[in-house]
Amino acid sequence: MNPIDVVKTGISAVENGKIDQYQSQLTDDMVFAGPVPQPVGKREFIGLQKALTEAMPDWKFNATDYRQMGDKVSAMVQITGTQTGTLNLPMPGMKPIPPTGKHVSLPPQETIFTIKGDKIARIEAAADPNNGVPGILHQLGVPLPPM
C-alpha cells in the first residue's frame, strides 16, 4: 500500500467508527503531537479517538489535498462533528462533558503523517488554540483544565 493509501485507510476507519481497525494501522511507538496539550503515544491517542467518536458519532476529518514527500504524507484536515454523546476525554483534570448538541467545525489545518512500512508512526500538526482538543473544547464552551 502506498503512503497516501495508508493514511486514507486510517482516516476512513476512524470516520466509520472502526477504532480497533485503526489501532492496528499504527506502529506500537506511534506519537501524536501538536493539537493536544502534550505529545501522546498510541494508547493515549486511541483513547482520545474513542472518546471523540463516541461523543460525536458524525466525526469527520474532511481530509483533502494529500501529498506524499518520501515517508511523509501531508493532508489538509478540517475536523467536524456534533456532540450528541458524553465526551469523556482521557486527560487529567477533565470531567465528563454532557451532550451539548453543538456542532464543531475546526479551521483547516495541515497535518503530517509519517509512515513506516504500512503503518502510521507519527501524526503531527501545529499547536493552535483554535484546533485540536483546545479548539474542540472552545467551540463546546468548555475551558481546558489547568496543566
What are the pLDDT digits (tens) for 61-120?
Answer: 999 999 999 999 999 999 999 999 999 988 878 899 999 999 999 999 999 999 999 999
Predicted local confidence at residue 78, as pLDDT: 96
Give the 3-state secondary structure of residue 58.
coil
Predicted local confidence at residue 109, as pLDDT: 95
Predicted local confidence at residue 94, as pLDDT: 85
**Amino acid (one-letter) located at 1:** M
Q: How confident is the model at residue 147 (pLDDT cuts 50, 70, 90)?
A: low
Write down the pTM of the prediction: 0.91
Q: What is the dihedral of CA 113, 45, 18, 53, to 10 degrees?
A: -110
Alpha-carbon dihedral sign for residues 96, 143, 52, 125: negative
